[in-house]
A and B are shown apart, each in its own frame.
Chain A
């Protein structure tokens, strides 16, 4: 089965706190890709990162960092020193040969992050 689970439905933090958004995936593919997208209230999904299954190096981009662990099938996302502008719904997605077709992205249900001043 191909599945993405984001167990945290909503998270609320105060500005400058660090916050980690969890993502657990299931796939039978040996080659797959993981993505994170941000959806602000305007609605557009903004691409944040793509990671392939053979690259387990953690990545840092400014205040954002990602921790990919194949052993636990997790691809967690941490925002350091959160800001109000980080308030959005964050989606984790899996790109794999789902059902034999290429190009499908399987999305989690999203985590709504609220950062209060």
Chain B
């Protein structure tokens, strides 16, 4: 595997389900990110992790719970989601968390909440 991988690629869940999105980066980076991309809004940064510590949480509802067990893996745990949470969830990584560091993205998980 190379670059940034995400699983699953597609997920359909009910509002009462609990599921997790997984992201893995094979670039030796120290920072990882979760973004939400929905049809009517620009890409929204959700969470930032640097060396496994959360350094950014952009007012994301508590029904989204991130986890970063090591610098290569990032999870997004989902529970009691709403239909408006349906979107493409993108993971990214960069060498460090700075404004100038290039972020490399995974293919995304297309989430549909029924």
Contacts and interface: CB of A to CB of B under 8 A. Distances in A.
A105 B103 contact: yes
A107 B99 CA distance: 13
A95 B99 contact: yes
Interface of B: 31, 33, 42-43, 45, 48, 50, 55-56, 88, 90, 92, 94, 96-108, 110
Nearest to B106: A44
Contacts of B92: 45
A103 B101 contact: yes
A37 interface: yes
A110 B42 CA distance: 8
Interface of A: 29, 31-33, 35, 37, 42-47, 50, 52, 91, 95-98, 101-105, 107-110
Given A42-B107, A44-B106, A103-B31, A33 B100 contact: yes
B97 A102 contact: yes
A97 B97 CA distance: 11
Given A103-B48, A104-B45, A110-B42, A47 B104 contact: yes
B56 A47 contact: no
B104 A101 contact: no
A96 B101 CA distance: 10
